[in-house]
Structure 1
Amino acid sequence: MAKTTARTCPGGAGDEPGLVPYPERTEARYRAAGLWSGRSLPVELTSAATAHARRTALITPEGRRTYRELFGEAERFAAGLLGTTSLRPGDAVMFQMGNVAETVVSYLGCLLAGMRPVCTLPQHGVREIGVLARHIGARGLVVQADFGRGRLLGNAKTLVADGVIEDVVVARGDASGFVAYEDVLASGAADDPGALPYRELDPRQIAVFQLSGGTTGLPKVAPRLHEEYTYNARAWARTLGWGPGSVVLYPLPIMHNAGIALALQPVLLSGATLVLAPSADTGTLLGLIEATRPEAIPLVPPALAIRLLDDPRARTADLSSIKDFIVGGQKLAREVAERLRDELGITVRQKFGMAEGMFLLTPAHADERVRHHTVGQPLSPEDEIRILRPGRDTQVPDGEIGELCVRGPYTIRGYYRAQRHNAGAFTADGFYRTGDLARRHVIDGLTCYSIDGRIKDVINRGVEKIHADEVEELIMRHPAVSTAALVAMPDRVLGERGCAYLVLEPGGQPPTVRSLGAFLLAQGLATYKLPERVELVPDLPLSNVGKVSKKDLREDIEAKLAREGDTGS
């Protein structure tokens, strides 16, 4: 095996460049409560794999892998990575991979090689990957050659030519002068798994880099530490009751914090089985549900729930295995939850989470006032939540809207190498300011929270405030609209007005400002909240974490108004 000297410092979290450590007293409290184990993430994963060696760990369209098979392949990948590339323990490795078995193997293999996966998406372009790689200091890249139209290999060549990336591993296609995934496995086949460097990792250091927000200017990178990220996964699995025999279906990109923290790692640490869907196409999902009988789908975007309701095949599919249909990503309309219940027999739970850590989930047996109107409670008894007046450190009364601020044993203490940004992103005592508007509720003695939009997603129309998510929810009821986003456009009199960006259903009649306004008034929306401009687009731009990029939409409408010489009447 090649030499495996770590490039980064071997000391504790306090010695880690760019990392804000947990205070010693806080860390001691989490250890005393038994939340942090003192073992690294790959040590915990391999221990679980040994305990469940014969059970099925992963199901993909290509076949099944037991824990022994999956981790055996990951060990070969780890050894081969150290033997066929210049990468060493401590190096960060970018990913541009879809939902295929090779993604899981290479992710686990990087951990076992003592390297740090950077969970990027295959939709990211050369510029985004380049900005992130330079910020983190990433040297490696794993790409899927046959993803989409094969552009990822061309992107990799550009990144290498620009001196951003040094080593590229290519799965599912011609390596084109880079290192082939199969060659990495073959190279590592003869090595002793016991010699892999992951056993020497300091559990207080960074295990994985997750992304939050855009990559323009300073990237927001969440450094997830070995112990806290392990606890995050265990707390999720425990809350949902996962264990040997549990089957979990995941339809969204696996190389994302939600995919890693809600699906892959909690499944593997609990001895359950992960069914990795190649896409979120409803036909694919319905087929996998009937074939694999999952008990949980841990993250269903509201748009996907609506597509299931609109697919006639869902009416005849056997969905009876699903106990936990967990909707997240944005607020779920009550009507959608009720339709899922009445038309498909699906009981909805809602969640809220972030790359920075904190997860909330509605309790399984809570009534519909909780499950349909809130995102429930945090996972850990050590999680702390404050609802603060935006821009201030004073708490608001129950039921009043404010900024969601969180602290806990799996919530980061700061973004990576972002001292200036961290100064405003955290309170003086370490609560992370999420930027989300929320309310605290007490329902039948149960304390729970609702998410009511984003601070930056409020349109200030004169003295009136318009919460974009409320208007969007109503626009989505329009029969011609597939999806929508409401953003602020500048106005010299009122400051801001609302502009609705609409993606239409095939064959849908384009709404005008007047007809859309009439529709929204009929839905009970106040007149001052009506969109005052409509833009029709083929799709909505996405941020680097797959959410609608309202920043891009605001910039678009500002540019259009500037060209038109108009900033409002």
Structure 2
Amino acid sequence: MAKTTARGNVEDDVGNGLVRYPKEAEARYREAGYWSGRTLPAELMSAAATHADRTALITPEGSWTYHDLFTASQRFAAGLLESTGLRPGDAVMFQMGNVAETVVSYLGCLLAGIRPVCTLPQHGVREIRVLAEHIGARGLITQADFGHGRLPDIARTLRADAVIQDIVVARGPADGLGAGYEDLLASGASASPATLPYRTGDPRQIAAFQLSGGTTGLPKIAPRLHEEYTYNSRAWAETLDWRPGTVILYPLPIMHNAGISVALQPALLSGATLVLAPSADIGTLLDLIEAHRPEALPLVPPALAIRLLEHPRSTSSDLSSLKDFIVGGQKLAEEVAGRLRDVLGITVRQKFGMAEGMFFVTPAHAAEEVRHHTVGEPLSPADEIRILRPGENTEVAPGEIGELCVRGPYTIRGYYRAEQHNAHAFTSDGFYRTGDLARRHTVAGSACYSIEGRIKDVINRGVEKIHAEEVEELILRHPDVSNAALVAMPDKVLGEKACVYLVLEPGATPPTVRTLGEFLLSKGLAKYKLPERVEVLPALPLSNVGKISKKALREDIEDKLGRESGTSG
């Protein structure tokens, strides 16, 4: 059964596992103007009042002015508090796609003082359960018509198991499952905005929860606080020079840290217009580009860039409005960047960011040496960077590769309810150990950074991260498997895919990709995390300290793929 959250009290947040910024840092960030002393929803409402008649949001189903969008969000907030058991300080899970109802629900939660947990519709019962229990979430907002309509069944299971108490159903009948989205809007229509909790909220509190890491054992949850999350979004908008009239196109899941902090919040805080694509289908994106003439695509996975290059309509489409085509998620190949420039006339910038906070982006007018080979510089002048020897507190020499460690006015100081993990994930003076390998470069007298790999056991499948330990834990429940190791294998489109090496029980029939996938889906694993290749060994190779040598396995699969493609040796 889910834990009960403390409701709306900073001291209770700390008691529940929030790691606060040191008071000295809080004072310094406010004095410098990075932190405003206001809550995130207060800042958003102020922007809405300033830009009331401008277009805030466009979806294939229509458009909303700032006035209309925030009126609906206020009604949703009031209805949520009036018609459910949810109260300020509670946490609410999301299983919603890229629809206007998702935006209204997210903003409405903020206005109600309720904390969104940015989960995805692709998550299964297992992921939602583990995360809800860890955070102590009481509610779930679900989209009835997403995909093949499986999400209400997930919600029904979670409620039957007493994991979730309050459910809101959008874009379909509630059927006794919980409150209907439209009913909440109706019930909140007569409420006064002056009564909404955001007006008296404490900016030191948690605004939203973002996910970082797998859901095996102890999840890694990044609690984003009002002031720092507002600054994160505002600094991004200022760096990209977003202003009233700027049009931003966003095709990736909006209920994700990237969607919230590089698209939704910065767009709304700057008076810009967000065009929310229902998916990353290239034909749909080309239609939206030609219809709405966006200036920015603020996060393009390399796989999406490749698909754009390969689409037969791309060369005949007018892409001239795109001034900022920002690639992130993994390192972009020089060849792909060159083709985007030469074939489609697109100038590429690169970004690197994390749910924990820190963002890097290449300057708009930087030379190709910087834009094609680095992720640029940190977002804020107050961001602090160290490149340390992995596992140590010693900085590497200039130009050497080491672990990227970061601290600043929008980087968390600790995961939620994770005291033991925090002891290893942060230095004693608050630098977050990212687990990513990086190198500092000096170009024309300025520092910029490149990401050279990672220490963490994570597979980057496009923009999705697959945490090997989570998948391995479930594979080991298979009755025919005695040992398993999941590793990354190269893929020219997605960057990496997952390959699993298995040791079987005596006499067992080797599972196939299909049968193993069916087993893992039955355990509630999300489809994108399934292994896409299965290799069977009599024993897994060990390192010189007796641990499974994933380095040897990665080399093995790379060699196999090379020989199969005729490029090995």
In structure 2, distance between residues paired with 1:254 and 1:270: 18
Asked if 2 retains the 8 angstrom alpha-carbon contact of 1:7 and 1:89, the reply is no
Q: SS of the counterpart of 2:58?
A: strand
Query: How far apart in 2 are the matches of 1:482 and 1:9?
Result: 42
Counterpart residue number, 2:547: none
The 5 Å alignment of 1:237-316 reads 237-316=237-316
Question: How far off is 1:10 after superposition?
Answer: 2.6
Q: In 2, Cα distance between the equivalents of 1:356 and 1:406? A: 10
Instruction: Return the letter of the residue paired with 1:268.
Output: L
Hey, what's the Cα distance between the residues in 2 that align with 1:385 and 1:115?
33
Cα displacement (A) at 1:247: 0.4
Which residue is equivalent to 2:484?
none
CA distance in 2, matches of 1:546, 1:160: 20
CA distance in 1 between counterparts of 2:439 and 2:527 reads 22
- 8 Å CA contact 1:7–1:88 kept in 2: the answer is no
CA distance in 2, matches of 1:482, 1:235: 29
What is residue 139 of structure 1 aligned with on the other side? Answer: 138
Aligned 8 A contact 2:233 2:262 in 1: yes
- How far off its partner does 1:15 sit? 4.1
Flag the 1:253–1:167 CA change in 2: closer, same or farther, 3 A.
same
1:567 corresponds to: 540
In structure 1, give the amino acid aligned to 2:145.
D
Partner Cα distance (1:394, 1:361) in 2: 26
Conserved 8 A contact 1:94-1:118: yes
What secondary structure is seen at the aligned counterpart in 1 of 2:456? helix
**Relative to structure 2, which stretch is displaced further, 441-450 or 233-242?**
441-450
Distance 2:206 2:69 in 1: 24
1:215 maps to which residue?
A: 215
Provide the C-alpha distance between the structure 2 equivalents of 1:321 and 1:16, rounded to a whole number of angstroms: 50
Kindly indicate whether the alpha-carbon contact (under 8 Å) linking 2:127 and 2:525 is maintained by their aligned counterparts in 1: no
Q: 2:272, 2:146 → 1: CA distance? A: 28
After the TM superposition, which of the residue ranges 9-18 and 190-199 deviates more from structure 2? 9-18
Q: Give 1:337's aligned residue.
A: 337
Aligned counterparts of 2:531 and 2:437: Cα–Cα separation in 1:
21
Return the TM-score normalized by structure 1: 0.83
- Alpha-carbon shift at residue 220 of structure 1 (Å): 0.4
Alignment of 1:158-557 (within 5 A): 158-177=157-176, 178-456=178-456, 472=490, 476=492, 484-485=496-497, 553=531
Report deviation, 1:489. Answer: 5.5
**Matched length:** 499
Residue 445 (structure 1) shift: 1.2
RMSD: 2.8
In structure 2, what is the Cα distance between the partners aligned to 1:483 and 1:262?
22
Q: Is this contact kept in 2: 1:89–1:113, CA < 8 A?
A: yes
Work out the CA distance in 2 between the residues paired with 1:279 and 1:300: 12
After the TM superposition, which of the residue ranges 11-20 and 430-439 deviates more from structure 2? 11-20
User: Residue type matched to 2:300 in 1?
Assistant: V
Describe the superposition over 1:56-114 as per-residue Cα deviations: whole angstroms up to 9, x where unpaired: 00000011100000000000000001111010111101100000000000000000011
Gaps of 5+ in 2: 460-486, 504-511, 543-569
1:456 Cα deviation (Å)? 3.3
CA deviation digits over 1:349-399, x for unaligned, max 9? 000000000000000000000000000000100000111111111111222
The question of whether the paired residues in 2 share the 8 Å contact of 1:13 and 1:204 is answered with no
Percent of aligned positions with the same letter in both sequences?
Answer: 70
Distance 1:44 1:565, change over 3 A: same
Change (3 A) 1:14 1:186: closer
Deviation at 1:312, TM superposition (A): 1.2
Quote the residue 1:64 is aligned against.
63
What is the DSSP-based 3-state SS (H/G/I as helix, E as strand, rest coil) of the residue aligned with 2:57? Answer: strand
Q: Quick one: which amino acid aligns to residue 147 of structure 1?
A: F
Residue 38 of structure 2 aligns with an amino acid whose one-letter code is R
Aligned equivalents of 1:110, 1:382: Cα separation in 2? 30
Corresponding residue number in structure 2 for 1:528? none
**Is 2:79 the counterpart of 1:80?**
yes
- Cα 1:368–1:486 shift into 2, 3 Å: farther
**Normalising by structure 2, what TM-score?**
0.83
- Cα shift readout 1:420-439 (whole Å, capped 9, x = no counterpart): 00000001111000000110
**Structure 2: how far apart are the matches of 1:456 and 1:372?**
24
* Distance change (3 Å), C-alpha of 1:338 and 1:284: same
2:551 corresponds in structure 1 to none
Distance 1:93 1:106 in 2: 10
Question: 1:109 aligns to what?
Answer: 108
Residue ranges of structure 1 left out of the alignment (5+ in a row): 1-5, 460-467, 492-500, 504-535
> Structure 2: how far apart are the matches of 1:457 and 1:368?
31
Distance 1:424 1:312, change over 3 A: same
> What is the one-letter code of the residue matched to 2:384?
E
SS of the residue corresponding to residue 373 of structure 2 reads coil
The aligned residue for residue 465 of structure 1 is none
